[in-house]
Amino acid sequence: MATTQREAVFVATISALSQAGINFVVGESVVHDVMTKEIRANVVERVCTMFQSGEVAFKDTDSNTSKLSDTKELRKYVAGLVTNWHNKDKSLNAGAKYETKNPGSRAGANDEQVKELKNLKTRLEAVGNTEGALKVAEAITKRVEELKAETTSKKLPEVDLTKIPEHLRDLID
Q: What is the DSSP string of 102-159?
A: STTTTTTTT-HHHHHHHHHHHHHHHTT-HHHHHHHHHHHHHHHHHHHHHHHHHHSPP-
Within-domain flag for 162: no
In a domain, 103, yes or no: no
Tens of each residue's pLDDT in the chain, 173 residues = 678 999 999 999 999 999 999 988 888 889 999 999 999 999 999 999 999 999 998 888 898 888 989 999 999 999 999 999 999 999 998 888 888 776 666 667 788 999 999 999 999 999 999 999 999 999 999 998 888 877 766 677 888 888 888 888 888 76
Measure the CA–CA gap between 149 and 141, rounded to whole angstroms: 12
Q: What was the pLDDT predicted at 95?
A: 87
Looking at residue 10, what is its pLDDT?
96
Q: Which domain holds residue 56?
A: 5-88
User: How high is the pLDDT of residue 153?
Assistant: 66
> End-to-end distance of the chain based on CA atoms, in angstroms?
50
Closest CA to 31 of 89, 101, 77, 75: 89
Residue type, 111: D
Same domain as 116, residue 79: no
Confirm whether 77 is domain-assigned.
yes
Distance CA 39, CA 15 (A): 10
80 shares a domain with 116 = no
119 with 79, same domain: the answer is no
**pLDDT at residue number 1:** 65
Q: Domain total for the chain?
A: 2
